[in-house]
Each structure stands twice: as C-alpha cells, then as structure tokens.
Structure 1
Amino acid sequence: MRKLVPFVVDALLVVVFCAIGRRSHDEAVLAGLLRTVWPFATGLVVGWLVVALRWRAAAGDARFDITPLWPAGVVIWTCTLVGGMLLRVVSGQGTAVSFVLVAGVVLAVFLLGWRAVYKAVR
C-alpha cells in the first residue's frame, strides 16, 4: 500500500471523528470543523513522523509499512489522541475526562480498526 493512501485514510477518519463530535453536540459542523480538527491532525502528523523516523533508524533505508496494527497503528493512535488533547488544552478548548475517554475509543476504532480490517483482508 502506498504511503499516501494510509495517510489520507487516517486524516479522513480524524476529520470524520471531529465532524461526528461537533454534530453530536449540535454545533455547526462545517463552521467550526477546522478549529476542532487541527489539534488532532497535528497529533496525527506527529505520530506518522515518529513511526517513519523510528522505522528509518531501525531499518536503514528500507521502505516502512504504516499499515501494521503494532507498532505503527498504536503509535499513530497514541500521538493523535495525546497530542490532540495537549493542543486542545494549550488552545483553551475543552478536555473533560469523558471527552478524553470517548475520543480515545473512537480514534482507536477508526485508526486501529481499518488496519485490523486491512490485515484480515490481506
């Protein structure tokens, strides 16, 4: 699988997660979507960089595979969740415990789920 396709899948799932959250709280989905997405999107990019740099350090110039559940998926999920929450705190957005738990579960289902399905189908 090319590297761009998994990144686009991850990014779209983060956007869907944020849109669902905004919709479930009766907030304007499109009007404030960027404000909700950017912390998690930044965390996602950090996760991808961590995986790519770690793989390169471990394997030299070998092509890295971003699709495995472990460690790639778990690292990306963790960075997306933790990075997103930290950036939400810094930017004055809410981080209630219930939100952190729901976000963790939904992002896990999204970011780890497609990788599990991909592995099962492959």
Structure 2
Amino acid sequence: MRYLPAVVVDALLVLVFAAIGRASHDESPAGFLLTAWPFLVALLLGHLLAALLPARPRRPWSILWGVVVWVVTVTGGMLLRVISGDTAQVPFIIVATLTLGVFLVGWRGITALVRRNRSRAATTHAEVEDAGVEDGTVEDIATGPDDEHPVA
C-alpha cells in the first residue's frame, strides 16, 4: 500500500498533462482520456518496473523512482499511441517528455526538499533542547545567567 499514494499523484498529473494538452489545441478537454490512456498504462508499468529493479530505489516518492517512472511513462506512452494508430510527432514528444519530467520528478524533488527541511528543523529543535532551553523561544536563548537581564 505504500506505493498507492505515489501512483495516485502520478496518475492525476498525467491526467492534468492530457487535459492541458487537449485544451491548448482547442480540442475538447473532455476527450483527455483518449490522450491520457497510453501514458496511464505506461505509468503503471513504470511503477512496476521501479518496484522490481534489483538495485531499485526503495521509496516510491524518491527522485530515482520518479526518473524510472518518467522514462517508462514517456517511452511506453509514445509506443502505445503509435501502436493504437495515433501519432507521435517530434514536437509532441518533446513537450510530453519535458512536461511529464517536471510533473513526475518535480513533485518528488519538492517532497525531498520538504523532508530535508523538516529533518533540519527537528535537528535544530533537538540541539536547542540539548542546550537546556525549555521551548526554544528567543527569550529563553537571549537571557543571561540570572534570567532577569537579556544578554547584550
């Protein structure tokens, strides 16, 4: 079940990609599933491949996992489009590759930054507590030994 949230986020982003693409060509956004289905199938294959790789990334929200999913989604999605009789023109391949890269790897990068910042904040909070400060407030840190006069 730990894979499900990442799969859901990725699938929603693929749907957004397809809807934006349809709308940008003045096509009915309602038909976005026709554009999205090959990429959704490839997305699931990408998650499966990432989970089965021998030296696989361990977390579905990791950047490396996202890169595997991205490459398989773009490659597989384009192949499925062509096999099903649709086109895969070079400009579409470029736009899809860049957009899906930003979407599928980008949210993982943001997640990594947030987790790193939380970790640093927790470490800083622990260091403040280890220094004997009760709640880490500026007043506690800035008081002198007699706790009545702030340290200049």
TM-score surpassing 0.5? yes
1:89 aligned partner: 82
- Aligned mates of 2:4, 2:32 — CA distance in 1: 23
CA apart distance, 1:2: 3.1
1:11 aligned partner: 11
- Aligned mates of 1:106, 1:85 — CA distance in 2: 14
Q: 1:4-43 maps to which residues of 2 (within 5 A)?
A: 4-30=4-30, 32-43=31-42
- Letter in structure 1 aligned against 2:61: T
- Letter in structure 2 aligned against 1:105: L
SS of residue paired to 1:89: helix
**Percent identity of paired positions between Structure 1 and Structure 2:** 52
- Aligned mates of 2:25, 2:60 — CA distance in 1: 33
- Aligned mates of 2:79, 2:47 — CA distance in 1: 17
Runs in 1 of length 4+ with deviation above 2 angstroms?
Answer: none
- Aligned mates of 1:113, 1:36 — CA distance in 2: 22
CA apart distance, 1:82: 0.3
2:46 aligned partner: 47
CA apart distance, 1:58: 4.6
2:101 aligned partner: 108
Select the structure of larger CA radius of gyration: 2
1:120 aligned partner: 113
- Letter in structure 2 aligned against 1:8: V
Deviation string 1:49-80 (CA, Å, 9 cap, x unpaired) is: 001111xx458xxxx3111112x111100000
- Relative to the length of structure 2, the TM-score reads 0.71
- Relative to the length of structure 1, the TM-score reads 0.88
- Aligned mates of 1:93, 1:22 — CA distance in 2: 14
1:68 aligned partner: 62
Structure 1 unaligned spans of 5+: none
CA apart distance, 1:18: 0.3
Q: Which has the higher helix share?
A: 1
Deviation string 1:68-112 (CA, Å, 9 cap, x unpaired) is: 112x11110000000000001011112110100000000000000
